[in-house]
Every structure is written in structure tokens, then in C-alpha cells.
């Protein structure tokens, strides 16, 4: 009966196609060229077009070939001859995922024929089809429900040739024969034990016997409803935990080894206010009873980008002047020649005394020679590791420095390191084991991964872009679900043809449309090729799946800046910073980056913004020679960033559980993956930025680590520029260069 009904409807649709009165003869054809359309029945599609041109033999035709982007062509049809159009449709390459929003605002003519299978990759995708259009499908693997719903909502006419295929008729009969029973939705999540994704952990619904195990990435899917209780158990790690499902979102579950957490217990206490202590020439003393001003800089205020102790303290203490150093004379300047404003000496020895863990260090000396000239012997203190500094205290004036007698006449800089001291065997003087830092960059050590993969080798052997694309299409047949293949092909085309690159990377959506790691990586890929419309769509999809994903809100708003939607972007960034998103997302983990982005947006585009209700703190921008913002797609991924300054000194930032266990736990719980660095002061010269992957993730279907850095030069200035760099990692200890950056 269902088959008879459909056949009748289909024939009526064809009759309407043949008899509809056309006031404007011109036609727009939207031809889906995504990978899923490769099995379409062209003969049936062409039979529809044949009727169109028989009825209207003289007209202009707009052809829109679409997948993740749209290619437009124009044809003039005379006397029903559409042979050129037919030939071009015969030779179409089917590649990429489907994004219907790419058609938006491109359809010119009132008579619209859309040939597609309805396999939409993004649930938030916008369908631009107007009323009285025709929706035609000849692909057997179509989304029938979506096609039917779209036809109903847009008042268009559906012609689904595939519905008459025997296998689809049988499916329809089976579907109508089964009495529908209510089913629970699938709740997805990830289990972390000691901040690492945990495989083979048992997840069950309280009260039911059925169990589910997490996959190698710690992920699980359980049929549940809001209010149900999940019981998570790992015998290997001796852990058990219960979680109440409070929203149908991606749930992260954190556990620690050898612990049992069945109930949540909140303990509160009233803390007694501790006396605030500060370091002086006489040891630790109550800050309120010292009787003179003491300036302090603790480890939290020392930038991780600091490669010397002079960089670490410069600009942090009022009145302290640390002269810059010259690349050709590493001994000149630096902490050894630091001066404290207000100190003075007749013989020009005004440099501050540096004391490390109670031991006075050699400092620069200035002395007079005949003729009234002065010579300086500079002390180099670059052996002090800024990453090992716990506190720096600056003492000024006689009251503060008299413990050091005449040596303290130029002021005293007290440095306390995180590590202890020991007695040297030969000198019997206290030596800090962490003072000497082996941070001279040697390019021969820790070499970059330079082995050329097979995909890139084949593409680079091509003589032209068209030749390379033909090679890619041939290789694609053997790599249908090989994640690395599409990433490597994207990497080749991204600087040569952005549309081809976008089409290639969107293929991954065809079979991974609900994988957050994949969506995040594709968002970054679209950012690099400046396909910001798609960046907005992808991040809307991420938010739908994981409503607390901080980066998704941030990236959606910043993409709107690139699209010129400044007021909306400002509104979204302010809502994120103030915790006023729909799910009250906690964005405190990226607060520094978020505030700088708001300030920069206002500074760069204030003439296009309504700032009536914007707080004063956002109206003044900061300025840096270089600002770097890093993002990655896999929560808790372990990797290392390396920064090499023009003097070939390097700093490594390890994003690992060993180095940053608390930080990574916070990232996982609050769903953010971002860090930033800035260059200021005397940083001219070539900087090298490398990255090394420390996890061990293999397999062609697994999403590699995607690491993107946004590089701002002259940040906050009218001359500000921005560049996005994206690299992928799929094997342990893989090391790549992100950028060689010349700072002027």
C-alpha cells in the first residue's frame, strides 16, 4: 500500500513538473557533488532535466555545484540543447562533505531544482531552499526522513527515485509494521582516571544489569534520560563513582586511582587570616611591620616566555631598570647591570646587588679612568633559570639595604629559587643546583620530523594543481576512511587552492559528524583557509553536542569578527567572559585571552560598535610586538611547545600530566584547550617555534592532534596583522616546526 501511495505522489510530482506555468523561464540547478553522491543514478537525474528543457528550450541556467563550498557556472540553453551542461555534469568529481549553507544567497532564479541525497553533515546547517522548488534524489543511500521533512517545511516538491528501489520499499514496509516503542536517547561521555582517558571502564545505568565499556579513548555511549544515575567502575584502578545525568550532553567523568566516590560531600571551614610575610635582608618578616616599601614578584607573575632572569623581572617593579642586551655582546646589560631609580654613587657603581638564596652574586662594575671616562665590566647572569624562580624581592633605600653595608648602596634584588642549595665539593660555597640551565638551542638535537609521507610525495610530484587533484582523487579510492590521508592532502592544498583544501577536509565529516575531536580539528582547518562561514557552523555543532565547550563559543565569536559581524561578536564574547551563555559556561580558564580579544575588537573596530553598556576595563587595549594564541582539539593531549629566542636560548612548555596535572584536570573539567604567550621589550630577531607530540595515538581512523597557533604581530597597533598556522601529529615524539618568526 505504501508503495502505491508513493508511486502516485511521485507521478503527480512529475505531472506538476510538466505542467507548471513558468513566468520567468530561467532556472537554477543545485547539484550536490559531495562524496555521498558518487552512487547517484545520473540517468534518472538527467530525465528530470530533459523535461525541463523540453518545456523551456530557451533560457539561462545557473549551475551551482556544491559540497562544503559552491562553484557557480552559467549556461545559455537554445532550442532545448543542453549538451554542454550535460557533459559538464557527467564529468563532475564527487568529493567533500555536504554543507547546504554554502548555497545561501547564491540562488538567482525562481525555478530551482536541487539534486541531493539529504545527507546533511551538520544539524545546525541552514537549508536555503525556497517555496515551489523541486527536491530530487537518485542516490540509494539517502536520508529519506530529512528529504521528506525539508520538502514539507519549504513547501517544495520531492521526487525520490530511490524510494522505489526494492530494498528501500522493503525497509519502509518493515518500518511501518513495527509498533513504535519509546527509546531513551544516548548519553555520551569520556572517563578520565588521573586525567588520562581510561579504556575498559564499566559504565552502567543504576538499577539495570546491562553494562557498557569505554573504548580505548575512554569514551562511552549509554541509553539514559535526565535524572538517571550512571555507575562507573574500574577494578584495575580500584575506583567507583556515581554520576547523575543532569543534561543530555557530553559528560566528562573524572576519577582518581584507589578512591571510592559514591556521594558528594562538601566540607566548609572558616580560615584564619595568615600574616603576610616578605623577604628582607634579615629573612622573612611580617610585611606590615617592616616599616618600608618592599616590591615583590612571585612565580605566577613571571612569564613562561622569559628566557633570562632580566626578562622575568623587567617592567614588573616600579623604579627598576634592566637594560637590554645586544645579540653581539651577550654580557652587556641584563640583571647584572640593573639599576634602581633613586640610588646613586660618586664612582658610578650604581648597579643593584643581586642575592640568590642568600648568596651575593658578582655584579657589573663601573670605574673611572684618566680623562674622566668610565669603563664597565658587565656581569652575565643568564645562568639563572627564570622558570626556577619562586620569588624576587626588590629592596630600596638605606633602611631596607643596610644589612649589606656599602654593597647595597645601589639597592638589593633578592632572588629565591624553587630548589634548595648544597655545598660545592671544591669551593664549599652554597650552589643552587638549578642556576645553570642547559637551554642553549642546538638544532642537531631533537631533530624535527622531516620524513615525507606517501600522500605528499605523490602530490608534490604533480606538475599542476589539476594534476595534483587528479592524483588525490585516484588515491582517495584506497583511503576512504583514512584520517591521515585527508589531513595530509589538506596540508598540501591549503596554500594552493583554499576551496579544494576545504572540500578535502570536509570529507571527514561524512563519517565523523558527531566526533568532537574531529569537529574541532575541522574548525581549525576552515580557520586556516579563512572559510569563516563554515567555522561558525562547525562550532555551532560543537556547542549542540557539548554545550560547555569554551573554545567553541570563543571560535564562533572570533569567526564572526572576520565576517564583519562586529556587534554580534562583541555581544557573544562579553557573554562568554561574564558567564552569561545559555549554559553559564565557565570561561575563567581562558580569561586572559578572552579579555584581550574583547579589548582588541573594540580597539580595532570601535567606530562600528555600540559601546554604551561596555565596562571601562575593556576600552583600553594592550600592545605587544608578538602575541601567540595556541589551541588544540584533544582534551588532555600531552605535547611540548618550544620557543627559541634570537640568542638561541630556548624555553619548553610541557603540557603533560607530570608537569601540569592540576592545569590539565581544570582544562578537562571546564572544557577548554587554549594557552597564549606574548613578546614584549627587546625581542628583535628570529624566533623559532617548535612543537612535539608526547602521546602515543596511532590508527588511520583516529583523529590526530591538531595544534593551531594564531600569530599576531604588532598586536594592538594600527599595523596589526594575524596569521593562522596548523599542524597535525599522529605518532609519539613527532616534532614539527610551527613557525620561524622574524620580529623587527
**Bigger pLDDT: 551 or 428?**
551
Q: pLDDT at residue 271 above 50?
A: no
How, if at all, do strands 639-644 and 339-340 pair?
Answer: unpaired
Q: Is residue 122 in some structural domain?
A: yes
Q: pLDDT at residue 110 above 60?
A: yes
Q: How confident is the prediction for the chain on average, in pLDDT?
A: 81
Please say whether the beta carbons of 633 and 517 come within 8 A: yes
Which pLDDT value is given to residue 338?
81
Domain count, the chain: 5
- Of 159, 177, 195, the last residue of a domain is 177
Which pLDDT value is given to residue 296?
80
Q: Is the dihedral of CA 96, 98, 104, 110 positive or negative?
A: positive
Mean pLDDT confidence for 557-568: 97
Instruction: Give the tens place of pLDDT for each residue, 444-485.
Output: 655 676 655 678 788 888 999 999 999 999 999 888 888 889
Report d(CA 566, CA 556) in Å as an integer. Answer: 12
Q: pLDDT at residue 372 above 70?
A: no
Do 151 and 204 fall within a single domain?
A: no
Comparing 177-191, 247-261, 500-514, 684-698, the range with the smallest average pLDDT is 177-191
Please say whether the beta carbons of 190 and 150 come within 8 A: no
DSSP of 428-496: -SEEETTSS---B--TTSS----PPPHHHHHHHT-SSHHHHHHHHHHHHTT-TT-HHHHHHHHHHHTTT
Do 620 and 677 fall within a single domain?
A: yes
Report d(CA 334, CA 681) in Å as an integer. Answer: 12
Instruction: Give the tens place of pLDDT for each residue, 592-633.
Output: 999 999 999 999 999 999 999 899 999 989 899 999 999 999
Comparing 144-158, 390-404, 549-563, 585-599, the range with the smallest average pLDDT is 390-404
Q: Is residue 271 in some structural domain?
A: no
Which pLDDT value is given to residue 189?
85
Residue 520's SS3 state is helix
Do 498 and 404 fall within a single domain?
A: no
Do 284 and 169 fall within a single domain?
A: no
Report d(CA 570, CA 573) in Å as an integer. Answer: 5
Do 148 and 197 fall within a single domain?
A: no
| pLDDT over 90, % of the chain | 42
Which pLDDT value is given to residue 688?
92
CA distances from 313 to 94, 302, 358, 686 (A): 58, 7, 18, 23
Q: pLDDT at residue 539 above 80?
A: yes
Q: Where are the alpha helices (DSSP H) in 105-191?
A: 144-154, 166-177
CA distances from 516 to 297, 509, 512, 563, 702 (A): 40, 11, 9, 24, 12
Which pLDDT value is given to residue 695?
79
Q: How confident is the model at residue 131 (pLDDT cuts 50, 70, 90)?
A: confident
H or E stretch covering 541: helix 532-545
Instruction: Give the tens place of pLDDT for each residue, 195-230.
Output: 788 888 888 888 777 788 888 888 888 888 877 888
Q: Is residue 155 in some structural domain?
A: yes
Instruction: Give the tens place of pLDDT for each residue, 330-361.
Output: 445 677 778 876 554 444 457 788 888 777 77
Report d(CA 480, CA 35) in Å as an integer. Answer: 10
Q: Is residue 296 in some structural domain?
A: yes
Report d(CA 216, CA 201) in Å as an integer. Answer: 10
Q: Is residue 270 in some structural domain?
A: no
Q: How confident is the model at residue 569 (pLDDT cuts 50, 70, 90)?
A: very high
Do 571 and 657 fall within a single domain?
A: yes
Q: How far is CA 135 from the centre of its chain?
A: 37
Report d(CA 86, CA 332) in Å as an integer. Answer: 75
**Bigger pLDDT: 137 or 432?**
137
The CATH code of the domain that includes 202 is 2.60.40.1120
Comparing 94-98, 314-318, 434-438, 724-728, the range with the smallest average pLDDT is 434-438
- Would you mind telling me the total number of residues written for the chain in this entry? 744
Comparing 92-101, 288-297, 578-587, 719-728, the range with the smallest average pLDDT is 288-297
Which pLDDT value is given to residue 397?
66
| pLDDT over 70, % of the chain | 77
Do 476 and 541 fall within a single domain?
A: no
Domain, as residue range, for 17: 2-177
Q: pLDDT at residue 514 above 50?
A: yes
CA distances from 12 to 8, 17, 19, 168, 733 (A): 6, 9, 10, 20, 63
Q: pLDDT at residue 262 above 50?
A: no
CA distances from 363 to 194, 332, 351, 388, 398 (A): 46, 12, 7, 20, 19
Do 516 and 503 fall within a single domain?
A: no
H or E stretch covering 500: helix 498-506
- Of 494, 511, 528, the last residue of a domain is 511
Q: pLDDT at residue 9 above 60?
A: no
Give 525's Cβ-side CA count (13 Å radius).
Answer: 33
Do 125 and 39 fall within a single domain?
A: yes
Q: Is residue 642 in some structural domain?
A: yes
Q: Which of 386, 389, 381, 311 is nearest to 352 (CA)?
A: 381
Taking the model in full, what pTM does it have? 0.73
Highest averaged pLDDT of the listed ranges 410-414, 566-570, 675-679, 697-701:
566-570
H or E stretch covering 391: strand 389-395
Comparing 263-267, 408-412, 578-582, the range with the smallest average pLDDT is 263-267
Please say whether the beta carbons of 638 and 732 come within 8 A: no
Q: Which triple of cell numbers denotes residue 394?
A: 626588590
Report d(CA 663, CA 741) in Å as an integer. Answer: 28
The CATH code of the domain that includes 69 is 3.40.50
Do 350 and 472 fall within a single domain?
A: no
Query: CB under 8 Å to 618, separation ≥6 — which residues?
Result: 595, 598, 599, 602
Q: Is residue 439 in some structural domain?
A: no
Q: What is the DSSP letter of 690?
A: E
**Bigger pLDDT: 703 or 249?**
703
- Of 155, 177, 199, the last residue of a domain is 177
Do 576 and 623 fall within a single domain?
A: yes
Instruction: Give the tens place of pLDDT for each residue, 631-668.
Output: 999 988 999 999 988 888 888 889 998 888 889 989 99
Instruction: Give the tens place of pLDDT for each residue, 479-492.
Output: 888 888 999 999 99
Q: Is the dihedral of CA 391, 396, 399, 401 positive or negative?
A: positive
Do 395 and 468 fall within a single domain?
A: no
Q: How confident is the model at residue 586 (pLDDT cuts 50, 70, 90)?
A: very high
Q: Is residue 445 in some structural domain?
A: no
Amino acid at each position: 500500500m505504501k508503495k502505491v501511495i508513493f508511486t502516485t505522489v511521485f507521478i503527480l510530482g512529475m505531472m506538476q513538473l510538466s505542467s507548471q506555468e513558468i513566468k520567468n523561464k530561467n532556472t537554477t540547478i543545485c547539484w550536490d557533488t559531495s562524496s555521498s553522491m558518487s552512487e547517484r543514478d545520473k540517468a534518472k537525474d538527467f530525465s528530470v532535466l530533459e523535461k525541463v528543457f523540453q518545456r523551456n528550450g530557451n533560457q539561462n541556467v545557473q549551475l551551482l555545484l556544491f559540497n562544503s563550498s559552491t562553484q557557480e557556472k552559467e549556461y545559455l540553453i537554445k532550442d532545448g540543447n543542453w549538451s554542454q551542461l550535460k557533459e559538464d555534469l557527467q564529468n563532475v568529481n564527487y568529493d567533500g562533505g555536504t554543507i547546504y549553507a554554502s548555497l545561501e544567497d547564491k540562488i538567482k532564479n525562481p525555478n530551482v531544482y536541487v539534486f541531493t541525497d539529504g545527507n546533511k553533515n551538520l544539524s545546525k546547517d541552514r537549508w536555503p531552499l525556497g517555496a515551489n522548488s523541486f527536491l530530487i534524489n537518485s542516490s540509494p543511500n539517502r536520508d529519506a526522513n530529512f528529504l521528506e521533512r525539508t520538502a514539507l517545511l519549504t513547501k517544495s516538491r520531492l521526487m525520490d527515485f530511490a524510494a522505489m528501489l526494492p530494498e528501500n520499499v522493503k525497509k519502509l514496509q518493515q518500518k511501518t509494521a513495527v509498533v513504535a516503542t519509546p527509546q531513551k536517547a544516548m548519553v555520551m561521555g569520556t572517563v578520565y582516571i588521573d586525567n588520562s582517558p581510561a579504556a575498559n571502564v564499566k559504565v552502567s545505568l543504576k538499577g539495570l544489569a546491562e553494562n557498557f565499556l569505554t573504548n580505548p579513548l575512554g569514551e562511552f555511549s549509554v541509553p539514559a534520560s535526565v535524572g538517571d544515575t550512571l555507575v562507573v567502575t574500574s577494578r584495575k584502578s580500584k575506583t567507583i563513582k556515581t554520576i547523575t545525568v543532569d543534561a543530555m550532553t557530553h559528560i566528562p567523568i573524572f576519577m582518581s586511582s584507589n578512591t571510592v566516590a559514591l556521594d558528594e560531600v562538601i566540607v566548609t571551614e572558616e580560615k584564619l587570616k595568615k600574616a603576610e610575610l616578605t623577604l628582607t635582608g634579615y629573612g622573612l618578616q611580617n610585611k606590615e611591620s617592616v616599616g618600608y616599601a618592599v616590591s615583590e614578584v612571585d612565580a605566577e607573575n613571571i612569564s613562561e616566555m622569559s628566557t633570562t632572569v632580566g626578562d622575568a623581572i623587567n617592567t614588573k617593579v616600579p623604579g627598576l631598570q634592566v637594560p637590554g642586551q645586544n645579540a653581539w655582546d651577550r654580557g652587556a646589560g641584563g640583571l647584572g647591570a640593573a639599576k634602581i631609580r633613586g640610588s646613586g654613587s660618586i664612582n658610578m657603581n650604581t648597579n643593584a646587588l643581586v642575592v640568590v638564596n642568600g648568596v651575593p652574586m658578582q655584579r657589573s662594575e663601573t670605574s673611572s679612568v684618566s680623562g674622566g671616562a668610565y669603563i664597565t665590566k658587565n656581569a652575565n647572569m643568564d645562568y639563572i633559570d627564570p622558570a626556577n624562580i619562586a620569588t624576587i624581592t626588590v629592596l630600596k633605600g638605606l633602611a631596607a639595604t643596610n644589612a649589606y653595608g656599602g654593597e647595597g648602596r645601589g639597592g638589593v634584588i633578592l632572588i629565591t629559587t624553587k630548589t634548595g642549595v648544597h655545598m660545592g665539593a671544591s669551593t664549599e660555597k652554597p650552589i643552587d643546583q638549578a642556576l645553570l640551565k642547559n637551554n642553549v638551542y642546538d638544532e642537531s638535537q631533537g631533530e624535527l620530523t622531516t620524513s615525507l609521507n606517501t600522500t605528499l610525495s605523490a602530490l608534490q610530484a604533480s606538475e599542476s594543481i589539476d594534476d595534483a587533484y587528479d592524483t588525490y582523487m585516484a588515491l582517495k579510492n584506497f583511503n576512504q576512511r583514512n584520517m591521515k590521508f585527508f589531513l595530509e592532502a589538506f596540508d598540501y592544498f591549503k596554500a594552493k587552492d583554499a576551496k579544494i583544501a576545504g572540500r578535502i577536509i570536509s570529507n571527514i565529516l561524512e563519517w565523523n559528524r558527531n566526533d568532537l575531536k574531529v569537529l574541532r580539528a575541522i574548525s581549525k582547518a576552515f580557520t586556516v583557509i579563512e572559510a569563516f562561514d563554515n567555522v561558525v557552523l562547525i562550532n555551532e555543532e560543537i556547542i549542540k553536542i557539548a554545550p560547555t565547550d569554551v573554545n567553541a563559543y570563543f571560535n564562533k565569536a572570533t569567526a564572526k569578527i572576520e565576517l564583519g559581524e562586529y556587534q554580534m561578536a562583541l555581544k557573544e564574547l562579553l557573554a562568554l567572559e561574564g558567564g552569561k551563555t545559555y549554559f553559564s559556561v565557565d570561561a575563567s580558564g581562558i580569561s586572559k585571552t578572552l579579555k584581550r580579544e574583547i579589548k582588541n575588537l573594540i580597539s580595532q573596530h570601535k567606530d562600528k560598535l555600540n559601546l554604551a553598556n561596555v565596562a571601562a576595563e575593556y576600552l583600553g587595549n594592550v600592545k605587544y610586538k608578538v602575541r601567540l594564541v595556541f589551541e588544540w582539539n584533544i582534551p588532555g593531549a600531552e605535547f611540548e611547545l618550544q620557543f627559541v629566542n634570537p640568542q638561541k636560548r630556548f624555553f619548553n612548555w610541557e603540557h603533560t600530566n607530570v608537569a601540569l596535572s592540576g592545569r590539565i584536570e581544570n582544562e578537562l573539567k571546564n572544557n577548554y584547550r587554549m594557552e597564549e604567550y606574548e613578546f614584549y621589550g627587546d625581542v628583535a630577531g628570529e624566533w623559532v617555534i617548535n612543537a612535539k607530540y608526547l602521546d602515543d595515538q596511532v590508527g588511520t581512523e583516529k583523529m590526530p592532534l591538531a595544534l593551531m597557533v594564531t600569530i599576531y604581530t604588532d598586536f594592538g597597533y594600527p599595523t596589526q596583522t594575524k596569521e593562522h598556522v596548523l599542524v597535525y601529529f599522529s605518532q609519539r615524539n613527532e616534532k614539527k616546526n610551527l613557525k620561524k618568526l622574524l620580529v623587527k
